[in-house]
Amino acid sequence: MIWVSWRQQRTETLIAAAVLALLAALLIPTGLHMASVYDHDHLSACVYVGNPQTSSCGQMVAAFTQRFEQLGGLFGWFNLIPGLIGVLLAAPLILELENGTHRLAWTQGITRRRWIANKLGLTIATALLAATIMSVLLSWWRAPLDHLLGRMNINVFDFEGTVGLGYTLFALGLALLIGVLSRRTVPAVVAGFVGYVVARLFVQNWLRQRYETALTSTTPTTRGVSANLNYAWVLIQEPSDKYGHAPSGVAANLLQICSRSIGGQRFTISRSCISAHGAGYNHVVYQPASRFWLFQGIETALFAGTALTLIGLAAWWIHERTT
């Protein structure tokens, strides 16, 4: 039974493997080069500097990140990969229901429960394996950048830790339930993928920052950026008075107004100008780096828990309502 299930989903599994192979071909050479440059320039010494912007590390870190984060800009598109893998792996089971070939298996001495368990077990195991490989690969590639910049920001958080497993399972479960109810493979795959994208955008852009109450920091501009913010996810950063309130009458483009320029190009920010407007402080709202694993656990539980519910409903429908 397991061999038959594998043969029926081998095309989708090979497609997922090909996607991961292309990802590896892109990341492994650049990852090795980036790690080599990181070690050669001794950038590990900058990790523990309280404020790299005011030290010799500032220029080195800026040069390194500018050189290698260009590829990191592609990471936003990699968000689609867990959804693609999930809906692809749901397709074989839906296709069997659409074509009615499941009835043949049920008349060959294989119970519905065993058929469902084998199908879903192999599909879920393949999805989790693919998600784990992707997470390990991307975490390895970003390791030098994580040491310097942290990993709480959007399009970094999404690819490390355990959240990728939840994303893939969610796409699988959503497409599977839609397919079981409709018995139409292509519409189920498309609807599952669209639903996955919508859910990811909602969580990423609105819900995630509300998992825990954000912290605030209000410090004089003369002190620069707090060391606690070097690896944090900064939600809001704006000029303020010492109480964290935007002074009345200050234009929204205060930083532009108070920038000195040479030859029409912005050169530096005048702190005295900002202070003259009553905004001699930086007010920051942020989620600290120490909450990385807490947020990973919350988001993984959110997506994986929803996925298991969807998969359970699909399994129940097949067992009780499918003929």
Percent of the chain with pLDDT over 90: 55
What pLDDT, on a 0 to 100 scale, did the predictor assign at position 50?
Answer: 47
Report CA Rg, the chain. 25
Domain spans, the chain: 2-212+290-321, 215-287
Q: Given this model, what pLDDT does residue 267 score?
A: 45
3-class state of residue 275 by DSSP: helix
Q: Which residue has the higher pLDDT, 56 or 11?
A: 11
In this predicted model, what pLDDT tens digit does every residue of 71-129 receive, in sequence order? 766 778 899 999 999 999 999 999 999 988 877 777 777 788 888 999 999 999 999 99
Note the pLDDT tens digit of each residue in 244-257: 777 655 544 555 56
Crossing angle for the helix pair 163-182 and 292-321, to the nearest 10 degrees: 20
Average pLDDT over residues 224-243: 77
Least confident of 97-101, 177-181, 230-234, 274-278: 274-278
* Confidence (pLDDT) at 229: 79
CB-based contacts of 195: which residues, under 8 Å, 6+ apart? 174, 178
Find, among 91, 232, 221, 214, the residue nearest to 154 by Cα: 232
What are the tens digits of pLDDT across the range 265-311? 444 555 566 555 556 778 899 999 999 999 999 999 999 999 999 99
In percent, how much of the chain has pLDDT > 70? 82
Interval 37-50: pLDDT, tens:
999 888 888 875 44
- DSSP 8-state class, residue 259: E
How high does pLDDT run on average in the chain? 85
Which is more confident, 188 or 53? 188
The pTM is what?
Answer: 0.86
> Is-contact 163 296, C-beta < 8 A?
yes
Contact (CB, 8 A) for 283 and 239: yes
Residue 261 has pLDDT above 50, yes or no: no
182 — pLDDT class (breaks 50, 70, 90): very high
CA dist., res. 213 & res. 208, Å (int): 11
Alpha helix segments (H runs only) across the chain = 2-40, 57-72, 75-78, 80-99, 102-106, 112-149, 163-182, 185-202, 254-257, 271-276, 292-321
Spatial distance between the Cα atoms of 205 and 149, rounded to a whole number of angstroms: 20
- Whether residue 53 is predicted with pLDDT greater than 90 in this model: the reply is no
More confident residue, 157 or 49: 157
* Angstrom distances, CA of residue 121 to CA of 6, 81, 89, 117, 127: 11, 21, 12, 6, 10
What is the rounded distance in angstroms from the CA atom of residue 90 to the CA atom of residue 67?
39
